[in-house]
Structure 1
Amino acid sequence: MNPSEAVAYLNRWYGSHERVEPLLAIMQDMEPREALELFRDEWSGCDDTRAYTTHVVDTLEAISYDLDWRDVLTDDDRKKFDALPDQIMVWRGSDESTIKGACWSLDRKVAEKFARGHRMMCNPRPTLARAVVSKWDVLFFFTDRNESEVLLDPFDLPEMEIVSVKGAAA
């Protein structure tokens, strides 16, 4: 399946909450550059990715052995990533039960929004975490949807700190 066929297939048969698994399966059968370009273009259309964290991390790490993921970033995202300092503060908002995940943001306000819930998801225990990581540990970087999203391996994270969510009930 070529990338444009993959996009049509994903959009026709899968909603945003069920798209991750078929996206990753399609990527397995592609050349590394095509797979990462498809991931770059389709990831932001995926919601509720928590159950696939290990599969996402493993897929990105496997493909990145053959190709530097930064080579497929948009020009704008590549400039923004290259301008980041070596150590970056990242934020993650989610329910307390899933705080150790792969999706983080460079923007605290974005993470706070995710802590409260978004797009049909409500978190009963909104939780916000922050950590300082090396930018070289980032598995992928996106600025579309104004989320300043970084994907990280949650099993290789340094110690994270839980902080209060502004405006959340205590």
Structure 2
Amino acid sequence: MYPKYSAALGSDLVLVPLPNMGLGTKSGQGSWAWAVGAHSTRKAAATSLLEWLTNDAGATAMANANGAVPGTRNALARSALVGPGKPLHLFGDQLSRACGTGPVTKDCVTVARPVTPAYPTVTAAFSTAVLLALRGTDPHKALSAAARTIDENLLANHEYSRPLSSS
């Protein structure tokens, strides 16, 4: 989205860190995942596309097209947008201070998003809560409703502990 916003706002577009809520500023790390379906009839073509999208050239092309942070270290290092003195330098700085699989501390910034089949529900519920709060709803009420939605999804799906059926 950076190219679109940059074209519209020019030098008025500013990237700022999220607020410190007690354990330092934090940002989500990770993205949606791509995969080749087990029953795909075009596995070779799909695999070839994914291999290109996840190599340095593909990651660079994708980041240049959508303004996202490049998905490989080499593409990140060569980015025209991400890096010291560049418009999206904050993203590169945050990624260099990932929490990884260790504990979340004041020293790390990016926290891996949860790996769960419920992630679409988590994302939708949280997004709704943020929008409601921005429109004047009490944030505690909005987030409590999001938590209920997530809990209901987990309960309805038995905490995603059952294997998915192949039907």
Q: TM-score range by the shorter chain?
A: under 0.3
| Bigger strand share | 1
| Greater C-alpha radius of gyration | 2
